[in-house]
Amino acid sequence: MPVLPGVACAVKDAAIRCAVVLLPFAALAVLTELFLEDVYLYSWMYDNRYCYLWLAAALFALFDKRALAYIFSYGDLFAIILGSFISDRLHDYTVSLITEDMSNQMKVYLHLHRGFRTWLYIMLVILAVYGAYRFYHSRFWMDDYGKKKN
């Protein structure tokens, strides 16, 4: 049974979208495996169920929700890099606050690494900014038929 040309083109377009969206995840996974094993946030994401975010981004790309797919992939890459930098500096600072006369509970609390929480907050801010942009753009710039308002 021959494949219709439109279907083949649509499948090819979906495959290209998925490849573009999954590229940052794959690059980050390879870099983590080779070089970044000792960095907390990268190793945490590599060891936990971070691949579900890959799946969400790929599904957004497949269903032609390009903006969400790009935000989940490239926004996530930005959030990981920035979150790792911020949380490492915060961890170094909190560890420097430890003194001998502190309780063991306080010492353990100050030794906690907040990489995941920092990454999550940055990702939520990125999604909120995107949502606000979409709300503003749809509410004030377009009418019901997708044409610019005067």
Q: Per-residue pLDDT tens for 95-104?
A: 888 888 888 8
Instruction: Work out the average pLDDT over 1-16.
Output: 67
Q: What is the pLDDT of residue 24?
A: 84
Instruction: Parse the chain into domains and list their residue ranges.
Output: 5-140
Q: What is the pLDDT of residue 1?
A: 47
Average pLDDT of every residue of the chain: 79
Q: How large a percentage of the chain has pLDDT more than 90?
A: 5
SS (HEC) of the chain: CCCCHHHHHHHHHHHHHHHHHHHHHHHHHHHHHHCCCCCHHHHHHHHCCCHHHHHHHHHHHHCCCHHHHHHHHHHHHHHHHHHHHHHHHHHHHHHHCCCCCCCHHHHHHHHCCCHHHHHHHHHHHHHHHHHHHHHHHHHHCECCCCCECC
The model's pTM is 0.72
Q: Per-residue pLDDT tens for 36-55?
A: 777 766 667 767 767 777 88
Instruction: Work out the average pLDDT over 13-19.
Output: 83
- Residue 42: how many other CB atoms lie within 10 Å: 22
Examine the pLDDT at 131 and tell me if it is beyond 90: no
Q: What is the pLDDT of residue 104?
A: 86
